[in-house]
């Protein structure tokens, strides 16, 4: 009885510590090709309130991806909690391809929740996946994202990215002449945010290391722009460059041994590669134009970058690191910038100007053709999800800077506005170990 009472107090405490959401989700468009799926509310067999609605988190994850259309609970004809209780005819009448069911129990002595789930293919009438997971009350949301990842991969064959994180910069106006900038890290759905670094001076261009342990970024807090690398868990910060002039746009090499960056220490904005173990610099470009915003190819052999070397307007160039000979690859429009490679290296996502407005677009590297993905007027800073299915970027909504996410086919879109000021400079993490 004492153990049960203690656990009840623990549950009440965890309920009061609901995940802090710096960002809220507003889904504006789903995909026409979305697959019908039902996420049946998981049965609560614990006999007490559960700190997190696991099935709701899963439903929100899958709906947000754009690849699924989740049936509202109010339209369900029954609420089974195991595959044995599913009446396939009912779900076929509702037009559902898949049904996820589950239940939650509690081990009061160990203070853990046991979550059982099963994913069922309605038309094949078979169980696709299922397992039993355990978690503390505070870990239930993470557990829910893991279920979402498993469901997504079981149906699409693509690894889910719901358990990943995003980094971004918030700007909150304190006075007419003073702002507070925060480098924030949050779960991919905007929950569980925390501040990694804050300053009264601008913070720019956060970029995740490929092991997801560090962020590189630009800060002005020392009096001029400098590039820093900060460890996520310990918050230990290392100043990488602080040369006179421009220090900007750091991006990690695929093996995390180097950063490519823009420096003007020799008089002009050029691309450099820095070995992080030795601090040795290699100059990659040498031109009177401005070269910036470089990004590595997945195999580490090439970089793409923004340059105005071709006649004044920014365009995208690709350069092999073996011969350092840039070639222009963007030819549609007068403004093309901030390129980022796709996961397979076959295309580049970037900012593209159309009729005076700035959108996120895809450039096919074999045909060099452009496909516009967004329609909001001032889109910037694209960053790709680790599974290559979604792009997060910054845009304007109701006269404020917010984050938005669009699927790479342009079919699904949602916003991530903040209640605490402008949000900019997003960066999507790799898969977390």
Q: What is the pLDDT of residues 252-300, one digit of tens each?
A: 999 999 999 999 999 999 999 999 999 999 999 999 999 999 999 999 9
Q: Tokens 């040795």 identify what position?
A: 280
Q: Is a pLDDT exceeding 80 seen at residue 183? A: yes
Distance CA 184, CA 101 (A): 34
Spatial contact of 80 and 58, defined as CB atoms under 8 Å apart: no
Q: What is the 3-state secondary structure (H, E, C) of 274-314?
A: EECCCCCEEECCCCCCCEEEEEECCCCCEEEEEECCCCCCC
**2-156 belongs to CATH 3.40.50.10070:** yes
What is the reported pLDDT for 123? Answer: 96
Contacts of 413 (CB under 8 A, 6+ apart): 27, 28, 29, 66, 374, 404, 405, 406, 407
Distance CA 408, CA 388 (A): 8
State both tokens at 137. 């009350």
Q: How confident is the model at residue 20 (pLDDT cuts 50, 70, 90)?
A: low
Q: Give just the sign of the alpha carbon dihedral 368, 303, 353, 401.
A: positive
Widest pairwise Cα distance in the chain: 78
Q: How confident is the model at residue 4 (pLDDT cuts 50, 70, 90)?
A: very low
Q: Is a pLDDT exceeding 70 seen at residue 166? A: yes
Residue range(s) in the chain whose domain bears CATH number 3.40.50.10070: 2-156
Residue range(s) in the chain whose domain bears CATH number 2.120.10.30: 165-428
Q: What is the pLDDT of residues 93-142, one digit of tens each?
A: 999 999 999 999 998 887 899 999 999 999 999 999 999 999 999 999 99
Spatial contact of 203 and 195, defined as CB atoms under 8 Å apart: no
Q: What is the pLDDT of residues 61-101, one digit of tens each?
A: 999 999 999 999 999 999 999 999 999 999 999 999 999 99
Distance CA 132, CA 42 (A): 13
Q: What is the pLDDT of residues 291-328, one digit of tens each?
A: 999 999 999 999 999 999 988 899 999 999 999 999 99
CATH number of 165-428: 2.120.10.30
What is the reported pLDDT for 11? Answer: 36
Q: How confident is the model at residue 3 (pLDDT cuts 50, 70, 90)?
A: very low
């Amino acid at each position: 009885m004492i153990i049960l009472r203690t656990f009840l107090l623990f549950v009440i405490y965890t309920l009061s510590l609901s995940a802090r959401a710096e960002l809220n989700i507003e889904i504006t468009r789903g995909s026409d090709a979305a697959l019908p799926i039902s996420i049946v509310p998981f049965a609560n067999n614990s006999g007490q309130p559960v700190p997190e609605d696991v099935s709701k988190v899963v439903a929100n994850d899958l709906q947000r991806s754009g690849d699924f259309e989740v049936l509202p609970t109010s339209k369900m004809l029954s609420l089974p909690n195991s595959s044995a209780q599913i009446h396939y005819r009912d779900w076929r009448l509702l037009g559902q391809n898949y049904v996820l069911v589950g239940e939650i129990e509690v081990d009061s002595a160990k203070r853990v929740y046991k979550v059982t789930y099963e994913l069922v293919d309605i038309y094949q009438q078979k169980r696709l996946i299922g397992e039993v997971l355990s978690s503390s009350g505070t870990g239930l949301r993470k557990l829910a994202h893991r279920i979402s990842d498993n469901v997504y991969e079981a149906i699409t064959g693509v690894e889910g990215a719901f358990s990943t994180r995003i980094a971004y910069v918030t700007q909150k106006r304190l006075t007419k002449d003073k702002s507070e900038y925060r480098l924030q890290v949050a779960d991919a759905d905007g929950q569980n945010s925390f501040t990694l670094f804050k300053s009264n001076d601008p913070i720019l261009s956060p970029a995740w290391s490929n092991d997801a342990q560090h962020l590189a970024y630009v800060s002005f807090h020392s009096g001029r722009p400098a590039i820093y690398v900060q460890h996520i868990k310990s918050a230990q910060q290392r100043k990488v460059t602080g040369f006179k002039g421009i220090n900007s746009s750091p991006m990690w090499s695929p093996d995390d041994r180097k950063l490519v960056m823009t420096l003007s220490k020799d008089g002009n904005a050029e691309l450099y590669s820095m070995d992080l173990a030795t601090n040795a610099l290699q100059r990659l470009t040498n031109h009177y134009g401005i070269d910036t915003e470089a990004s590595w190819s997945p195999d580490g052999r090439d970089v793409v970058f923004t340059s105005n070397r071709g006649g004044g307007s920014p365009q995208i160039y690709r350069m092999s690191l073996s011969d350092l000979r840039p070639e222009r690859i963007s030819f549609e429009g007068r403004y093309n910038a901030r390129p980022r490679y796709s996961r397979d290296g076959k295309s580049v996502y970037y900012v593209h100007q159309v009729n005076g407005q700035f959108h996120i677009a895809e450039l096919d590297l074999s045909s060099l053709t452009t496909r516009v993905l967004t329609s909001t007027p001032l889109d910037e800073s694209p960053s790709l999800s680790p599974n290559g299915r979604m792009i997060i970027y910054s845009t304007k909504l109701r006269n404020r800077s917010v984050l938005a996410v669009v699927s790479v086919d342009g079919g699904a879109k949602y916003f991530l506005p903040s209640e605490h000021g402008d949000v900019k400079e997003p960066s999507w993490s790799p898969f977390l170990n």
